[in-house]
């Protein structure tokens, strides 16, 4: 079990050099193991896969038990060597099991974050970053181990959400049946696929918000043109 988890972290750290992560459909479970004595261990997802790494732990709650672990990778050689954060995990509710882990690129920018928001031992939220900014958030809101909501971001702001309301998706195929479009954090258009053929059968619009958005965009364009 320990070997498998270290291999998993090794793959994650090796992939830290990439700029983005592919979305998934099945979030999986947090790495947790139980010793022969019945003691729960966090299993350590931010563990060094080899030489050139350093691990630090912190007790932020004051209970004398480390609840935050950081993994650093040595970049460069000689006088140019420096430590770069590549992984950080934390126990949010004090049960001695890590609930959230974030992986970073070799430049120290966020790449991917996995979280167990309801503390049941299962990953239910995965956040992907591009150039250090959120570009996709995937959620398992039902607790069945499958992603049912994907929220897409532009410029750090949510612009569209796709939801699988009828639970038609599988680990290998994403089948949304509702699409929501946002302007300034508000839903302005919502499309629903009633029969499951992958096409919108009904559109619902907030005409007032769409009108205000169009006026704001026109004003911004006029202001830019006048400068």
In whole angstroms, what is the distance from residue 178 CA to residue 164 CA?
A: 7
More confident call, 89 vs 25: 89
Count CA atoms closer than 13 A to 135's CA, side-chain side: 14
DSSP annotation string for 7-45: HHHHHHHHGGGSS-----S---B---EE-TT--EE---S
3-state secondary structure 26-93: CCCECCCEECCCCCEECCCCCCCCCCCEEEEEECCCCCCCCCEEEEEEEECCHHHCEEEEEEEEECCC
Beta strands in 116-195, from DSSP E residues, in sequence order: 125-130, 133-139, 149-154, 157-163, 178-183, 186-192
Contact between 167 and 174 under an 8 Å Cβ cutoff? The reply is no
Say yes or no to pLDDT of 25 above 50: yes
Instruction: Output the pLDDT for position 27.
Output: 74
pLDDT band at residue 4 under the 50/70/90 scheme: very low
In whole angstroms, what is the distance from residue 8 CA to residue 60 CA?
A: 27
More confident call, 179 vs 39: 179
Instruction: Output the pLDDT for position 92.
Output: 92
More confident call, 27 vs 173: 173
Instruction: Output the pLDDT for position 28.
Output: 65
Instruction: Output the pLDDT for position 208.
Output: 66
Say yes or no to pLDDT of 111 above 90: yes
What is the rounded average pLDDT of the residues 88-111?
92
Say yes or no to pLDDT of 15 above 90: no
Instruction: Output the pLDDT for position 160.
Output: 96
Residue partners of 114: CB distance under 8 A and separation at least 6 = 27, 30, 100, 101, 102, 123, 125, 126, 127
In whole angstroms, what is the distance from residue 101 CA to residue 115 CA?
A: 6
Query: Tokens 């947090």 label which residue?
Result: 30
In whole angstroms, what is the distance from residue 169 CA to residue 223 CA?
A: 45
């Amino acid at each position: 079990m320990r070997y498998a988890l270290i291999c998993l972290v090794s793959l994650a750290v090796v992939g830290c050099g990439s700029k983005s992560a592919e979305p998934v459909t099945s979030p999986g479970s947090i790495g947790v193991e139980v010793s022969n004595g019945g003691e729960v261990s966090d299993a350590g997802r931010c563990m060094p896969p080899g030489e050139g790494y350093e691990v630090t732990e912190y007790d932020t709650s004051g209970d004398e038990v480390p609840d935050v672990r950081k993994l650093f990778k040595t970049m460069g050689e000689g006088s140019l060597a420096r430590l770069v954060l590549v992984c950080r995990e934390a126990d949010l509710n004090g049960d001695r099991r890590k609930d959230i882990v974030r992986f970073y690129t070799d430049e120290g920018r966020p790449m991917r974050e996995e979280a167990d928001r309801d503390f049941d031992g299962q990953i239910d939220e995965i956040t992907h970053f591009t150039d250090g900014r959120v570009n996709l958030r995937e959620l398992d809101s039902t607790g069945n181990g499958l992603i049912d909501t994907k929220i897409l971001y532009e410029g750090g702001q949510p612009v569209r959400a796709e939801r699988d309301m009828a639970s038609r998706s599988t680990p290998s195929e994403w089948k949304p049946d509702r699409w929501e479009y946002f302007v300034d954090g508000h839903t302005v258009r919502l499309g629903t696929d009633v029969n499951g053929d992958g096409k919108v059968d009904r559109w619902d619009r907030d005409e007032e918000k769409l009108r205000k958005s169009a006026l704001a965009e026109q004003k911004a364009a006029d202001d830019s043109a006048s400068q």
